[in-house]
């Protein structure tokens, strides 16, 4: 895999975001967090809502074909097995 996995979050109050980050870390999956509530990340917010069509955080983007929304342990396990 070339680029890092990206986890688009809505900040520290997002329980599903915290669970996702914790599960990824526990499985040894390296990721970059992008808080889409920050003004400097407006383009990232537009990307996950307008381009990908998600309305729920977190949004995990592995690559152009592999991404999901919400806390999905099944996808995290699948991703960890691939790495």
Give the model's pLDDT for residue 4.
86
Give the model's pLDDT for residue 29.
96
Q: How far is CA 35 from CA 4, 13, 28, in A?
A: 16, 11, 21
Separation of alpha carbons 8 and 62, rounded Å: 11
Whether the upstream peptide bond of residue 58 has omega within 30° of 0, thus cis, is yes
Give the model's pLDDT for residue 1.
46
pLDDT beneath 50, residues of the chain? 1
pTM of the model: 0.94
Give the model's pLDDT for residue 2.
53
Give the model's pLDDT for residue 83.
82
């Amino acid at each position: 895999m070339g680029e890092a996995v990206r986890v688009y979050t809505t900040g520290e109050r997002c329980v599903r975001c915290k669970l996702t980050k914790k599960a990824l870390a526990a499985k040894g999956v390296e990721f970059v967090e992008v808080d889409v509530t920050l003004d400097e990340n407006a383009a990232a917010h537009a990307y996950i809502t307008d381009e990908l069509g998600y309305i729920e955080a977190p949004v995990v983007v592995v690559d152009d074909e592999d991404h999901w929304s919400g806390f999905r342990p099944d996808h995290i396990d699948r991703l960890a097995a691939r790495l």
